[in-house]
């Protein structure tokens, strides 16, 4: 008989659907100033960060999301030097940004310092570059940071939770307009925009709003097993550079597990029901 403790956690991704994990250890469980935070150890996905009952990142599959947020815009922009990450306190996107030698400074702004603290402690493989001298970490409101910035960044990445709680403002047209002002004249931004199976209306709204601000607006996808439905979308808005026409010589060798130059282009090839959400 299996004597192992059977403690199961279920993320209810809709009212009628969820994904379940066996948890063998709870490292942290607390209500921070902004959200419920758990750091747990699971059999299937290793260490897992949960915010308000939603899976944010795991040891096993984190590389997919973090690589696709960072490398698509950074290879699209010909010379990204100054980069901003809104959210992303686990440090995964920062880790990927640091693989690009052109980046002179990356600023991370996360509203919840506990996410940063516990990620450094329990997810060192993800958060290990947060102390890099090219990185500035700010515990603060990313919405306000954007509002107070103008013509400052080459690339902005919005690594937020789903549009609930403190992240709700990060899915508004006003926020995207602020991003445009915070970007330089040839700037690019990317944001995670949830999944097409359960939140198609969100993708449609974001696409419509971003298209009114950025002349080049595209949607791309990746497979993230622990996110609702597994199919995850990202919206990219660019003032000048088309992510689908990156010159081959732009790509330089970096160590990745998911992203490749071929995948860069393939990620923009959408299933028809997803492509229809962009029209």
Burial of 194 (0-12, 13-18, 19+ CB in 10 A): buried
Q: How far apart are CA 94 and CA 87, in angstroms?
A: 11
The answer to whether the beta carbons of residues 154 and 80 sit under 8 Å apart is: yes
Contact partners, residue 60, CB within 8 Å, separation at least 6 = 44, 45, 46, 225, 226
Q: How far apart are CA 171 and CA 192, in angstroms?
A: 10
β-pairing, 36-42 vs 17-31, is: antiparallel
Q: Which sequence positions are flagged as catalytic?
A: 159
Q: How far apart are CA 182 and CA 144, in angstroms?
A: 11
């Amino acid at each position: 008989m299996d004597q192992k403790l059977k403690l199961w956690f279920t993320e209810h991704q809709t009212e009628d659907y969820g994904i379940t994990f066996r948890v063998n250890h709870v490292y942290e469980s607390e209500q921070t100033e902004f959200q419920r935070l758990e750091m747990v150890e699971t059999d299937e996905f290793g260490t897992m960060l949960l915010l308000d009952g939603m899976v944010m990142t795991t040891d096993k599959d984190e590389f997919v999301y973090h690589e696709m947020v960072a490398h698509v815009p950074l290879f699209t922009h010909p010379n990204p030097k100054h980069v901003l990450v809104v959210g992303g306190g686990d440090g995964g996107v920062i880790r990927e940004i640091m693989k690009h030698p052109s980046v002179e400074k990356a600023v991370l702004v996360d509203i919840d310092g506990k996410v940063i603290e516990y990620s450094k402690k329990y997810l060192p493989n993800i958060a290990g570059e947060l102390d890099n001298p090219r990185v500035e970490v700010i515990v603060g409101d990313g919405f306000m940071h954007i509002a107070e910035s103008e013509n400052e960044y080459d690339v902005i990445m919005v690594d937020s939770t789903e549009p609930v709680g403190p992240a709700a403002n990060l899915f508004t047209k006003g926020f995207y307009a602020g991003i445009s002002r915070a970007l330089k004249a040839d700037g690019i931004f990317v944001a995670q925009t949830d999944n097409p199976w359960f939140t198609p209306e969100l993708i449609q709204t974001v696409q419509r709003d971003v298209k009114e601000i950025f002349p080049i607006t595209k949607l791309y996808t990746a497979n993230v097993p622990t996110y609702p439905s597994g199919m995850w979308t990202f919206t990219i808005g660019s003032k000048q550079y088309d992510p689908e026409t990156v010159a081959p010589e732009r790509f330089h060798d970096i160590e990745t597990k998911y992203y490749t130059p071929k995948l860069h282009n393939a990620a923009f090839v959408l299933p028809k029901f997803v492509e229809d959400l962009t029209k």
